[in-house]
Amino acid sequence: MKAVIANDHGAVDLAARIVRHLKERGIDVTYLGTDKEESVDYPDKAEECVNEYRKGGYDFGVLLCGTGIGISISANKMKGIRCALPQTRYSAEMTKRHNDANFIAFGGRVEYSEDPVEILDAYIDATFEGGRHERRISKMMALEGR
């Protein structure tokens, strides 16, 4: 597997933890984030990460900012991106199984009730179910640009 990851200044520690974890899982990581707490604009990081993902060869992307909200909204503005912001393992699993999300986002300043690394693992380990969900994803993606 191969992943691309980017973060702004609001998620430096969590991004470093996720990168380490993915590498420990044997996942090839392209890291485009910042390791400094100096201000970086999350829309710029989302765009950089999505553009790298679009080059091909990546299984998924991970985006992080202070809450995960701004960076996920930014990514979702870009054609072909389905970036989820799950708060639990269950929602992470379902976003892959039912929505075939190609990006997942986290907040570095969020106090999660479940470990974000475990949430990420649930997403990675899930498989898209296809079937009726393909029709719904097609409808979802047809909304782009409206």
Q: What CA–CA distances, in Å, run from 35 to 6, 9, 86?
A: 10, 7, 24
> 9, 21, 83, 98: which one is catalytic?
98
Sorted by sequence, the CB contacts under 8 Å of residue 91 that are 6+ apart come out as 84
Give yes or no: 83 in active site.
no
> 9, 65, 83, 133: which one is catalytic?
65
CA dist 119 and 106 (Å) reads 10
CA dist 63 and 106 (Å) reads 7
Element (H, E) at 47: helix 42-53
Q: Which residue numbers are catalytic? A: 65, 98
